[in-house]
Amino acid sequence: MILLPNDALDRLQDGCKSIADRCNSLGITSWEIVASQSYGHQIDIEGGKISLAAGGGEGGYGIRILEDGKFGFAYLVDVNSADKAINSALSIARMSPSIDGFVLPYEQSAKQVSGLYDKSIIEMDSEDLLTQADAIISEVASLDKRAIVTGGGIGVSANASSILTSEGIESGGITTSHGVGVQVSIEEDEQLTSSWQSNSSRSKLIQVPNCVSRAVDWAKLTRDPIKIDSSLDESPVLMTSEGFSPLFSVVVPNAIRGDKLARAESFWSGKMNQSVIAKDLNLVDDATIVGGRSSGSRDGEGVPTRCNSLIKSGKLVGSLWSTRDAAQQIAEGRIDIAKTTGSAIRSGHQSPPISGCSNLFLTSSNKSYDLDGLLQEMNEGYVVNSVMGAHTANPTSGDFSVTTSSILRVENGEIIGSIKQAGLSGNMAKALTEGVILGDNVRPQGSYSSGTMYVPNVLISQGLRVNPA
């Protein structure tokens, strides 16, 4: 069975035009209609066996109406209920505060971003996923006869989306995704260790992605924990891409949103054109990279996307804006000049757009190191591969306090053993200001807040405290 119906995008665009016609007939002159329809297949793995095969789809339409600087939003599933949604959005707009200068963005030409669609994913069915699941289960057993895939699964999806506005924006497209996540456990001698690793891509993944071997490796590395003295002193910590990205994604994307900076809700508020992180570090948000997980030719408002430089040589030089957020902060007197940076994001058709990141890259002008090189640079400290509780980090202050059971002790540049459990606390803003060394292997990671994090292994020399259990 083909994953995505051939006419999926055409049907969405026809639906948008139908809703637009109703807006025009009701005398509404400023409107924005978005639509999405997703389809997917999924295989779950539990206890070393395939436990569930499922598939399905969901979608609908969202409408934003603007009247005298006031906006209202509503969503619907069936085009036949368009009048009800339109009237709801209009009613909300008329009760909302006016934002001086807020108008919907006008049409601008946008360059197509490639690598977001893979026909071979569209052609995959549940049998293909079953075959891949069997291959992954077998590979885990071959890597370590004690290891079992105790959780995780495989999924493929296709998403058709469309936008149509009263200002002439008309665009649509199809994206695909293929993801694998595995929880590998080893239980032996009354000791249980496990590790979660994942891969996802806009293109079809290889039959056994490298996340599988990483999960087995970390389930083995964290066995036979050693005892060390408890200490709350600051200590160098090497965080793998998987360990660093959850904290990074909670704190940093919020810190570089224009509206957060303007409202003094970012630890970088008031520091534009000042040094905020180590002088060799750079931060860019690029929605135009080929095959990027969060790439696209247009943002959530239909504005052409771009590569936004946010931090250059340690200095804060930019921020991310949507059209509405920029107009609101100017109208409220918090900032003199602001305009969209093509950075409006949506969590589907059921919500209006806000400012957010797409593909966020942390890079350094200094030399990068492989894992062994990072260990030598650190000499003594800890390696953290995953954390629990990252969502509790404070995005305004940068403070966090999490726990980890995937942590290794390093002495004289070598791993001497694992620790059963430890607390990890600190401040992300402080941790990035000095003595940061990046690894040479960038792995895209999911985010707690918005977009995709493209981060390598990161050695942090200050601002973190480890408290072994």
Check if the beta carbon of residue 37 is closer than 8 Å to that of residue 57: yes
For residues 30-67, b (16+ Cβ closer than 10 Å) or e, as one string?
bbbbbbbbbbbbbbbbeeeebeebebebebbbbbbbbb
Confidence grade of residue 307 (pLDDT, cut at 50, 70, 90): very high
CA distance 352 to 99: 16
CA distance 386 to 317: 31
3.90.950.10, 3.40.50.2300, 3.30.2290.10, 3.40.50.150: which CATH number matches 8-221?
3.30.2290.10
Q: Are strands 436-438 and 422-427 parallel, antiparallel or unpaired?
A: unpaired
Residue 324: pLDDT above 70?
yes
The predicted pLDDT at position 243 comes to 95
CA distance 316 to 451: 20
Which residue type, as a one-letter code, is found at position 176? T
Instruction: Please give the average per-residue pLDDT across 87-97, as a whole number.
Output: 96
For residues 407-445, b (16+ Cβ closer than 10 Å) or e, as one string?
bbbbeeeeeebbbeebbbebbbbbbbbeebbbbeebbbb
The predicted pLDDT at position 126 comes to 86
Cβ neighbours of residue 253 under 8 Å, at least 6 residues apart? 356, 357, 360, 447, 449, 450, 451
Segments making up each domain of the chain, as ranges? 8-221, 237-468
Percent of all residues in the chain with a pLDDT value above 70, rounded to a whole number: 99
Confidence grade of residue 232 (pLDDT, cut at 50, 70, 90): low
pLDDT tens-digit series, residues 437-457: 999 999 999 888 889 999 999
The predicted pLDDT at position 6 comes to 86
CA distance 216 to 147: 7
pLDDT tens-digit series, residues 375-421: 999 999 999 999 999 999 999 999 999 999 999 999 999 999 999 99
Q: Are strands 237-239 and 381-388 parallel, antiparallel or unpaired?
A: parallel
Give the chain's mean pLDDT: 95
The predicted pLDDT at position 438 comes to 98
The predicted pLDDT at position 73 comes to 97
Q: Which two tokens stand for residue 45?
A: 């793995």
Residue 1: pLDDT above 70?
no
